[in-house]
Structure 1
Amino acid sequence: MSSIRPWRTIERRKSRQIMVGNVPVGGDAPVTVQTMTNTPTSDARATIDQIRRCEEAGVDIIRVSCPDVESTAALKEIVRASTVPIVADIHFHYKRALEAADAGAACLRINPGNIGSEERVKEVISAARANGCAIRIGVNAGSLEKDLLEKYGEPCPEALVESALDHIRILEDHGFRDYKVAVKASDVFLAVAAYHALAEAVDCPLHLGITEAGGLIGGTVKSSIGVGSLLWAGIGDTIRVSLSAEPEQEVRVGYEILKALGIRSRGVRVVSCPSCARQGFDVIRTVERLEERLQHIRTPMSLSVLGCVVNGPGEARETDIGVTGGGNGRHMVYLSGVTDHHVQDEGMIDHIVRLVEAKAAEIEATRETVPAAAE
């Protein structure tokens, strides 16, 4: 496809690969989607319930906060219950890092230069190595070291990159290379510039994010611009969309960014019009209900929902299933780009859901039989 449509090609930055639990990050591995729980980690049941919702949304890796001993004590149960790798954020407390590693965390989120003496750093690295933990260095414009703020006067790309390189050097000096790095900021321009500079300086995997991005709408826009532009440039091996919203919403937005760029595909990609006076049915409400009812579909496929016949037939020809508005409450349904049958207003949403579920089952059945036929 890329040879036919070169304007769709994204050439990914070549990074070395590490493992976060059983999930490869970097190299030629798929860009992974992460989120973070917001329940008290010490409440294992509430945290596991939230992780379960994120797993259903498709999360690849999930981070939990471990600010106290009660949290790391609950971590062992949480790790056992999770089907995805757990990253423990230990908040400068090196003992929490040791406890989290022993509890089964797949990755520790630390800044090696901020956890104290050289001896403490050695202990954390030894615990990570002994337990097969990766490490994520998390540089943030809001918590830069005082000496860097004095040197540069304010958070800037150079300060973020210098901080990251300082932390990297500590791990490298101890022969530890299973790390990934983030240089986050709430300012899109600052974050993007820092990631571009860091991508030129190192070969480790990069974790992308626009931190403190905002609420569901504002944060989605900021993250789509920042994270999306970096991914488009080939930078980034794993992402987190930081929203003042439930973690599963972060996962869904993350996948939408990846789907828009053709990097990963999961679930139903909906093509729909903004609606106008020509619409033959209530497009906005129909799309809202379909998106809600089709969240359980994991099979990559496309659905077009267009209110009239101006652009509808053209869009429907490019999707697996399509519906275009017609007159008198009678609408055309397209299957695999071909006009197939009409559907009335009443029961239209139920009808489309059944078509999508049937198409997903058909695709999955084909996937299962193709390898068997090849053998």
Structure 2
Amino acid sequence: MKKLYRNQTKEIRIGDVVIGGNHPVAIQSMTNTRTEDVKGTVEQIHRLEKAGCEIIRCTVPTREAAEALKEIKKQIHIPLVADIHFDYRLAIAAIENGADKIRINPGNIGTKERVQAVVDKAKEYGVPIRVGVNSGSLEKPLIEKYGGVTAEGIVESALDKVHMIEEMGYDNLVVSIKSSDVLMCVKAHELIAEQCPYPLHVGITESGTVYSGNVKSSVGLGIILYEGIGNTIRVSLTGDPVEEIRTAKLILKTLGLRKGGIEVVSCPTCGRTRINLIHLANEVEKMVADIPLDDIKVAVMGCVVNGPGEAKEADIGIAGGIGEGLLIKKGQVIKKVKEEELLDTLRQELLNWNR
């Protein structure tokens, strides 16, 4: 295992959430509603909160969106981050309307005077600034210097902007460097982790649809987090942002960085399978999402031949037969039920788990 970096970072408070230092990796997402639509945005944030989102970001492209933050914040329960591009006045307005953090790329804000105005307002309100640089927005001089878009160029760009804000007298910072190229993103984070004292927000940007984005994000975030890099993450998907939270939670749990919830394991099916295991496993996964149990492993197996043995490491499991199935606890068969009763039987057992 490579060198661990996480505990070397400064602690930064975003609303009620603290990242950096010894604090757990926090899960973020971003709304895809129009921020000006307060009702729709709040409804989506509530769904994200229920799924386990701990920090939420909203785009602020207009003055109306900046002003909407005030009402949105009143109705949600997690820190609110304002995403700003180009117009420094929107960053200032977002801070004045209650944003718990702002995300800017100083390179597209404009002159140093405009960046200074944003920094001064952030300092006045004690609001952290996330300095974000994406590979797609890398400056031409750095592209020419490194012969293209590279990890080294991304890191240099980010650190230049960090140093600029430090020179303006502010160090309440979070840094993010993103690329849709997984291995470039990994290398960039390895490089910056040795040079940056601030918490890192990690993600594979523009990673794609729920299918391809989950794969790319799991590989990239898995490598970066395993090396001890990263204090808050977002899985960027073209789809319902709730899917981002589900994936982020599973990535952290798989790496041992997050506990809690119910884990579902299922076999890949084979010629012995006589039930619709694919449908059953998906239904089990949906069903357990709303059951408030921690660190329970549920096994869904396709046949009664090997099912009990394969499920022995799980706390509870079901195994299908021909028109029927078995309920298994700790490898022991508890009862036999009809196939159509398997899901509800499992649900009732979980609902009564601690009774």
Q: TM-score range with shorter-chain normalisation?
A: over 0.9
Q: 1:314 to 1:179 in 2, by over 3 A?
A: farther
Q: 1:147 to 1:12 in 2, by over 3 A?
A: closer
**Count of residues in correspondence between the two structures:** 353
Match for residue 64 of structure 2?
A: 70
Percent identity of paired positions between Structure 1 and Structure 2: 45
Is 2:122 the counterpart of 1:122?
Answer: no
Is 2:193 the counterpart of 1:199?
Answer: yes
Match for residue 95 of structure 1?
A: 89
Tell me the secondary structure at the aligned position of residue 251 of structure 1.
helix
Match for residue 302 of structure 1?
A: 297
Match for residue 324 of structure 1?
A: 319
1:43-91: per-residue Cα shift (whole Å, max 9, x none)?
A: 1111111111111111010110001101001110111111110110011
Tell me the secondary structure at the aligned position of residue 137 of structure 1.
strand
* Letter in structure 1 aligned against 2:35: T
1:76-121: per-residue Cα shift (whole Å, max 9, x none)?
A: 0111111110110011211111111111111100123432233322
Tell me the secondary structure at the aligned position of residue 201 of structure 1.
coil
Is 2:12 the counterpart of 1:29?
Answer: no
CA distance in 2, matches of 1:102, 1:129: 12
Tell me the secondary structure at the aligned position of residue 325 of structure 2.
strand
Equivalent residue runs for 1:57-206 within 5 Å: 57-206=51-200
Query: Is the Cα–Cα contact under 8 Å of residues 186 and 210 in structure 1 kept in the other structure?
Result: yes
1:193-227: per-residue Cα shift (whole Å, max 9, x none)?
A: 10110111112111111111010101100001111
Normalised by the length of structure 1, the TM-score is 0.89
**Pick from 321, 338, 354: which aligns with 1:344?**
338
CA distance in 1, matches of 2:313, 2:87: 53
Is 2:50 the counterpart of 1:56?
Answer: yes
* Letter in structure 2 aligned against 1:117: T
Equivalent residue runs for 1:10-21 within 5 Å: 11=4, 13-14=6-7, 15-21=9-15
Q: 1:298 to 1:142 in 2, by over 3 A?
A: farther
Query: Is the Cα–Cα contact under 8 Å of residues 255 and 266 in structure 1 kept in the other structure?
Result: no
Query: Is the Cα–Cα contact under 8 Å of residues 10 and 232 in structure 1 kept in the other structure?
Result: no
- What are the ranges of 5 or more consecutive residues in structure 2 without an aligned counterpart? none
- What are the ranges of 5 or more consecutive residues in structure 1 without an aligned counterpart? 1-6, 366-375
Query: Is the Cα–Cα contact under 8 Å of residues 311 and 328 in structure 2 kept in the other structure?
Result: yes
Match for residue 215 of structure 1?
A: 209
Query: Is the Cα–Cα contact under 8 Å of residues 104 and 131 in structure 1 kept in the other structure?
Result: no
Query: Is the Cα–Cα contact under 8 Å of residues 318 and 325 in structure 2 kept in the other structure?
Result: yes
Q: 1:324 to 1:16 in 2, by over 3 A?
A: same
Normalised by the length of structure 2, the TM-score is 0.94
My pick for the range that moved more, 71-80 or 297-306, is 297-306
CA distance in 1, matches of 2:340, 2:110: 66
Q: Kindly state the Cα deviation for residue 344 of structure 1 after the two structures are TM-superposed.
A: 2.2
Is 2:234 the counterpart of 1:234?
Answer: no
Query: Is the Cα–Cα contact under 8 Å of residues 52 and 245 in structure 2 kept in the other structure?
Result: yes
Q: Kindly state the Cα deviation for residue 309 of structure 1 after the two structures are TM-superposed.
A: 4.5
My pick for the range that moved more, 133-142 or 338-347, is 338-347
Q: Kindly state the Cα deviation for residue 336 of structure 1 after the two structures are TM-superposed.
A: 4.3
Q: Kindly state the Cα deviation for residue 297 of structure 1 after the two structures are TM-superposed.
A: 2.6
